[in-house]
Chain A
Amino acid sequence: MVTEAVFKLNKKTEVKLFISLQMDQLLNDFSPGLFFMQAIILLILIVLMRKFAWKPILDSLQTREDGIKDALDAAQNAKLELENLQADNEKLLQEARFERETMLKDARDIKTKMIEDAKTEAQTQANNIIEQAQVAIEGEKKAAMVELKDHVAKLSLEIAEKIVRKELTSNDKQLELVETMLTEKSLN
């Protein structure tokens, strides 16, 4: 029992001693010279690296990133512009199509109207001509009739003359006729 306790105690002090030794060693290991050298090396390294490496590297990275961002923005803008342009084109096309439709429609209308007008005009013209023709025909007919009547009257006179002449070629006949006519007269 006693030896065990002593052993335990020893163990404890040993651990304590070990820890204190380690702490001692830690402090003992701290070398001011190394600290100084490290400080100088680090300082010089920071200055050198800043001048020759970090500054140019970070600047270049910044420039590159800005460039990439700008390029992306530009691409985006270009895309938008293209879309706008396409929309404009579509609109223009639509307008052109509409205009063509209207023009075609107008042309068709004009054509129809012209034909219609021409027809009406022709009709009127024809009617006028026909009317005039009729009037002329009527006039001609009347004139012809008058002429025919004259002619017939002349002919009748000639015939009557001829007949009379023939009838009255002999005295007998003339007498007979006078007779007859007288008779008739008397009878009446």
Chain B
Amino acid sequence: MMLVKQTTKFIAILVLLMTSVSSFANSGEHDNQHQEEGGNKVDTPDEIKAYIAHHLQDSHDFHLYTNNETGANIGFPLPVIVWTSGGLKVFMSSEFHHDDNGQVIVNKDGVLLTKIHSKIYELESGAEAVVFDDHHHAENAHKVLDFSITKSVFGMLLTGILMLLGFVALAKGYKKSAIPTGFSRVLEPLVIYVRDEIARPNIGEKKYRKFMSFLLTVFFFIWILNLLGLTPLGFNVTGQIAVTACLAIFTVVIYMFSGTKDFWAHTLWMPGVPVVLRPILAVIELIGFVVIKPFSLLIRLFANITAGHFVVMSLIALMITMKQAFGPVTSTGMSLILSLFIMVIEILVAFLQAFIFTMLSSLFIGMAVEEHDHH
């Protein structure tokens, strides 16, 4: 009950925050790319493509709704934290006025910063405006190290808070009674599921406990982020390759550091094969453990979630792209049925990918900590 109350409180605060900042957004200048391209709505295939591509990227502010005609913009800015040639710079993303094309240049103590395609660029000294080459790459600006609280970081923080709220409540509930009540009753079987179906069979009864914190955290982190990505809030955190890469590298570091003597013996000097083959096998095994396994982890999660978002948005866009061919009613109906269908699959995928990531992580850890019987 406490958790439910807390959650509702949290959501209420979130809603308040959103509505209060919407007034800020209205003041935003209206000089974005859509106007340049001549349309006010996202209604041509190219615009849709650009919109989807833009959604799949991380962004420096949180916007739920943009009206290109009036310039109304519902959302709120997020802090930008960048490491530039002039040191650390911190400011709100509202200073870019929703510009994403290097038009608005922010001057921070002599360091000129601009935002192009959701990336922050620092203008080289002497430059006043961004000069683009044929491929729309900035010629006189370079990327900076960007530690901003972007939409993805915001999503991760939100997920972290949700996880802490939920599971700390579950943990505290045990002090009162051995059987959880309320929402904890939903969480407990999930924890038991991860423990009994993922960690125990793959790592082994003796050693699984040491890795439970990582596996449980990663499982719920990915799952909640995947699910958040399906909400209209439009997070695409697990579709960011940096995020999945980080998760995969955590797994690699964990299984590399917990590898037993047996594991290293089998990896570097495989017993039972001709000596000549052993170095070759060692190279193959090492590449397998250091590169291929984490790569398969990070690409699988990234590609699944990105593809899911892409398909859902494309199917929603069917409403517009098929309007000419089928008329508004048919195209809307088709779009609705298809996107509903794919959405249900995406809910499954959200769980599945969290499950697979955790499963494979525990499998790899299990390989590393396994004690071999010597024949």
| Residues in chain A within 8 A of chain B (CB atoms) | 26, 28-39, 41-42, 44-46, 48-50, 52-58, 60-61, 63-64, 67
Contacts and interface: CB of A to CB of B under 8 A. Distances in A.
A127 B296 CA distance: 123
B178 A42 contact: no
Contacts of A37: 147, 149-150, 153, 156
Given A64-B178, A67-B178, A49 B167 contact: yes
Contact of A61 (B192, B242, B249): B192
B217 A45 contact: yes
A31 B174 CA distance: 41
Interface of B: 57-58, 82, 119, 145-150, 152-153, 156-157, 160, 163-164, 167-168, 170-172, 174, 178, 188, 191-192, 195, 209, 212-214, 216-218, 221, 240-243, 245-247, 249-250
Which of A29, A41, A46, A53: most chain B CB closer than 10 A?
Answer: A53
B308 to A, nearest CB: 17
B171 A61 contact: no
Contacts of A39: 246, 249-250
B57 A50 contact: no
A19 to B, nearest CB: 14
Contact of A52 (B147, B149, B171): B171
A119 B119 CA distance: 130
A41 B217 contact: no
Contacts of A61: 188, 191-192, 195
Given A54-B212, A54-B213, A38 B246 contact: yes
A35 to B, nearest CB: 4
A92 B302 CA distance: 75
Contacts of A48: 160, 164
A33 to B, nearest CB: 4
A53 B153 contact: no
Contacts of B167: 49, 52-54, 57
A60 B184 CA distance: 13
| CB-based closest 8 A-B pairs | A53-B167, A60-B174, A33-B146, A50-B213, A56-B171, A35-B242, A34-B242, A38-B246
Given A34-B152, A37-B147, A53 B171 contact: yes
Contacts of A55: 213
14 contacts: A26-B241, A31-B240, A37-B153, A38-B156, A38-B246, A41-B153, A41-B160, A42-B218, A46-B214, A49-B213, A49-B216, A54-B217, A55-B213, A61-B192
A53 B191 CA distance: 11
B78 to A, nearest CB: 12
A53 B221 contact: no
A50 B243 CA distance: 21
Given A41-B157, A61-B192, A35 B247 contact: no
Given A37-B147, A53-B168, A61-B195, 20 more contacts: A26-B241, A31-B119, A34-B152, A34-B153, A36-B147, A37-B150, A38-B152, A38-B153, A38-B156, A38-B243, A42-B156, A45-B163, A49-B216, A50-B217, A52-B168, A56-B174, A57-B170, A58-B209, A60-B171, A60-B178
Nearest to B245: A35
A30 B249 CA distance: 14
A15 to B, nearest CB: 16
